[in-house]
Structure 1
Amino acid sequence: MTHLVPAAPQSPGASLVLVERQAVPIPHFGLTLSEERFHEFAERLRTVGVRFDVEPYRRCAGEPAEQWTMFFHDPAGKAQEFKSFRDESMVFAR
């Protein structure tokens, strides 16, 4: 999925866009996991002390696009998003 922003940021993940009252870094790389793997990965990240830009949380609860999501920067400073959809067919739903 690609997010369109008016101007490219100076460095990866340097700009923030509000998504459901959460400031998320733009641009970012995104990956979808199963819910079980999502929670396992989130716990591993916590264990090694990763600082989240957006702590793992459930978005759109009870809606068709319900999902778990989290954002953080990798060691190279690039913004990452990992998520898990209740219904994977809703990945590109708006």
Structure 2
Amino acid sequence: MSNCLHLAIPAGDLEKAKVFYCDVLGCKTGNSEDGHWIDIDFWGNELTLHESTERLPSVRHEVDMGTVSVPHFGVHMSEDEFQALKKRIESAGLPYLDKPYRRFKDTEFEQETFFIEDPNGNVLEMKTMTNPEVLFRTTK
């Protein structure tokens, strides 16, 4: 698990957050301190959810698909994983903050993406790329 990202966020009620991240998104738990924090295996990255009363503020920024919430975080996943995740979200009756959308159509950077909120209002962008090998290639 070298070079994994670690991100700690305010999660509100840890039990609600755990249901969202594990039961809906399909993540697994790791280390924890009861009533304080819990580590989530977020597709090979360490997401630490902290019990909290505060929420992170967010604003909307202009991008090609309209406006998106910032800050946000998420993962790139295979097409199969992405479609399975969409089904789990829809089966759970969770609303999309920004519905699934295909970006950069007919380019090497084509991707499908959507935005959701966790129970504490943290924004997640989940995506799948048609050609993931070009992720860090520049267009210039």
TM-score range, shorter chain: 0.7 to 0.9
Change (3 A) 1:12 1:43: same
CA RMSD across the alignment: 1.6
Q: Deviation of residue 91 (structure 1)?
A: 2.1
Picking from 34, 39, 44, the partner of 2:88 is: 44
- Cα distance in 1, alignment partners of residues 101 and 80 from structure 2: 14
Q: How does 1:13-52 map to 2 (within 5 A)?
A: 14-52=58-96
In the alignment, is the contact (CA less than 8 A) between 2:65 and 2:103 conserved in 1?
A: no
In the alignment, is the contact (CA less than 8 A) between 1:56 and 1:69 conserved in 2?
A: yes
For normalisation by structure 1, the TM-score amounts to: 0.79
SS at 2:60 equivalent: strand
What residue number does 1:7 align with?
A: none
Q: Deviation of residue 90 (structure 1)?
A: 2.3
The structure with the largest strand share of the pair is 2
Q: How does 1:1-94 map to 2 (within 5 A)?
A: 12=56, 14-94=58-138
- Cα distance in 1, alignment partners of residues 57 and 90 from structure 2: 21
- Cα distance in 2, alignment partners of residues 21 and 49 from structure 1: 24
Gap regions ≥5 residues in structure 2: 1-54
- Cα distance in 1, alignment partners of residues 106 and 57 from structure 2: 29
- Cα distance in 2, alignment partners of residues 50 and 92 from structure 1: 31
Report the number of matched residues: 84
Q: Deviation of residue 22 (structure 1)?
A: 2.1
Q: Deviations over 1:23-64 (max 9, x none)?
A: 211000121110111111011101111111111121111111
Larger RCO (CA under 8 A, 6+ residues apart): 1
